[in-house]
Amino acid sequence: MNGMRTWEGQLPTFDNVSLFVRSDLPAEAKAVFILVHGLAEHGGRYQYVTEKCNRFGYGVYRFDHRGHGKSEGERAHVDDFMHFVDDAALVVDMAGRENPGLPLFMFGHSMGGQVAAVYGIRYKGVLAGQIFSGALFREPAAAAELKKIDFARLPAAARMPNALAAFVSRDPDVVRAYENDPLVLKEVGLRLLGAIAVRGPAWLNDHVREYDGPCLILHGGGDRIVDPESARWFHAHISSADKELRVYDELYHEVWNEREKDGVIEDIHRWVEKRM
Contacts of 97 (CB under 8 A, 6+ apart): none
Catalytic option among 24, 65, 109, 110: 110
Which three-class secondary structure state does DSSP give residue 204? helix
Catalytic option among 109, 219, 235, 253: 253
DSSP 74-112: STT--S-HHHHHHHHHHHHHHHHHHSTTS-EEEEEETHH
What is the C-alpha separation between 209 and 32, in angstroms, rounded?
A: 27
Catalytic residue flag (residue 206): no
What is the C-alpha separation between 246 and 107, in angstroms, rounded?
A: 15
φ, ψ for residue 62 (rounded to 5)?
-120, 140
Catalytic residue flag (residue 18): no
Cα distances from 15 to residues 86, 190, 200, 227, 230, in angstroms, run 11, 22, 21, 34, 32
Catalytic option among 133, 223, 230, 235: 223
Within 10 A of 173 (CB to CB), how many other CB atoms are there? 10
Establish how many alpha carbons lie within 13 A of residue 169's alpha carbon, considering only the half-sphere containing its beta carbon.
18
Catalytic residue flag (residue 110): yes
Which three-class secondary structure state does DSSP give residue 7? strand
SS3 content of the chain, % helix, strand, coil (to 5): 40, 20, 40
Q: Kindly list the catalytic residues.
A: 110, 223, 253
